[in-house]
Amino acid sequence: MLVSFIIASVLIELTPGPNMTWLAVLGASRGRATALAAVAGVCLGLAVAAAVAGLGLTAVRTEFPARFHILRWGGTLYLFYLAWDAWRDGNEEISHTNATRGVAFRQGLISNILNPKAYLFYAAMLPQFISGSMGLATEVALLSAIYVAVATLIHAGIAVLAGSAATFLETSPHAVTIRKGLALLIAAAAVWFFFSTQVKL
Q: What is the pLDDT of residue 62?
A: 47
pLDDT band at 178 (very low <50, low <70, confident <90, very high): low
pLDDT tens per residue across span 23-36:
888 888 788 899 99
Q: In whole angstroms, give the CA distance from residue 168 to residue 157.
A: 19
The pTM assigned to this predicted structure is 0.70
Nearest to 24 by CA among 174, 16, 71: 16
| Average pLDDT value over all residues in the chain | 76
Q: Is residue 127 exposed (0-12), middle (13-18) or buried (19+ Cβ within 10 Å)?
A: exposed
